[in-house]
Structure 1
Amino acid sequence: MSREGGAKIGGYTVVADVGLSLLKLLREQLSPDPVPRPDLIGMASPVDKGDLALSLYLCSIRENGEARRNEMLPQGGVLRYPPLAVDLQYMLTAHSAADLHTRILDEHRILGKAMQVLYDNSVLRGPYLEGTLLENGEELRITPENLSSDQLTQLWQFGDNPYKLSLVYRIGPVLLESNRVKPGSRVLERRITLRDKGG
């Protein structure tokens, strides 16, 4: 792990650590109401959700050009290549096993609570962070994606399964450390010569 200019950089587990951090937040804040048990919130596609009441699905990873870094990072006598800055896009979908008359209302309650929790924790810190994010004192920025109905249905690529109301959030930028390094040139001695221009 490296640190440059206040930015924290995670190893290859950082993508999984973001998912675990979101799960930790939502499980603590949505249980026992409106989701009876924390284990009913999990990572799964909306159509392969088992008995989950709320599924989180990482549907896209995109490079964040605005957060791209170009500077090499000095680290123990070598220069490490800059990290890859990415945004993670998560789809949250509620699922109710209730009968037809109350199913939709149950799902709306779950989504409403999830929106409230993510709004109140739009910068995720401290006890909710997992893995390398916690080790580095990282912060996660959570932003709702304002997608049109057409964009949402395009994002819903699950075969013949009909679209189900879902929330989409962007988490990022997340910095993924590079393993590439090159030798760093070190200044070992500086020699200054002064000449008198008198004449």
Structure 2
Amino acid sequence: MGDYTVVGEVSTLIERTLHAAVQAVDGNAVAILDDLSGNVPTSPPKLTIFLYEIAEDPPSRNRPHVRPDPANPQVVRKAPMALLLRYLVTAWGGDQVTQHRMLGVALRTFYDNAIFTGPRLTGGLAAGADALHFTLTPLTLDQKSLVWYALQKPYRLSLNYEVRVVNLDATEDLPGAPVRSRAVVPGLVS
């Protein structure tokens, strides 16, 4: 079940996964969550993970209501809100070659592990049967420049990843008796 903590849990999952990957290549390197609002120290070399957008997943908007308790069919609940999270992964520190290698580690990590399910998920993510799909998302140079302009920082080579579908469960139950019969009456429009 995805409660209000799911966005933070996905961010923590990404941080732990990338931290383990860069540590395996360079014992000094780290991966951290960072909103890029301040100066990013360049020692030790690091990957910053910045959640820059949360959106509703368009293909999932019209999912039907669910029955949270099969023993009580009189109650329905809205389908979970399907979220799409967009992250900016940026390398800092060392020389350009070191930064490119760190970005290569991130690319390989999410290429090899494009779908996270089951025991790899923790907290509220583990309670459901959902899968998180990681996709490298192409952005035009203009779109990337707008992100960096909003951060008031010079452009840096970065990776843009989408994580979908992160389900945020509704909490309000609605009355909804099951349909027991239906009738088609010619000429009647309702």
Q: TM-score range by the shorter chain?
A: 0.7 to 0.9
Paired with 1:19 and 1:117, the residues of 2 have a C-alpha distance of 15
Aligned to 2:186: none
Aligned to 1:31: 23
Where in structure 2 are the equivalents of 1:12-161 lying within 5 Å?
12-34=4-26, 36=28, 40-48=30-38, 49-50=40-41, 53-76=46-69, 77=72, 78-96=75-93, 98=94, 103-156=95-148, 157-159=150-152, 161=153
Matched, 1:162 2:159: no
Query: Please, which runs of 5 or more residues in structure 2 have no aligned partner?
Result: 182-190
Count of residue correspondences: 173
* Deviation readout 1:62-82 (Å, 9 max, x if unpaired): 111112243111123321112
The question of whether the paired residues in 2 share the 8 Å contact of 1:25 and 1:128 is answered with no
Q: Give the TM-score normalised by the residue count of structure 2.
A: 0.81
Q: Give the TM-score normalised by the residue count of structure 1.
A: 0.78
The question of whether the paired residues in 2 share the 8 Å contact of 1:34 and 1:109 is answered with no
Paired with 1:105 and 1:56, the residues of 2 have a C-alpha distance of 19
Query: Please, which runs of 5 or more residues in structure 1 have no aligned partner?
Result: 2-9, 191-199
Paired with 1:35 and 1:82, the residues of 2 have a C-alpha distance of 44
* Deviation readout 1:130-157 (Å, 9 max, x if unpaired): 2111222432100011111111111222
- Residue 12 of structure 1: how far off its partner (Å): 1.1
Q: Cα gap change, 1:92/1:178 in structure 2, threshold over 3 Å: closer, same or farther?
A: same
Give the alignment's Cα RMSD to 1 decimal.
2.2
Is the radius of gyration larger for structure 1 or structure 2? 1
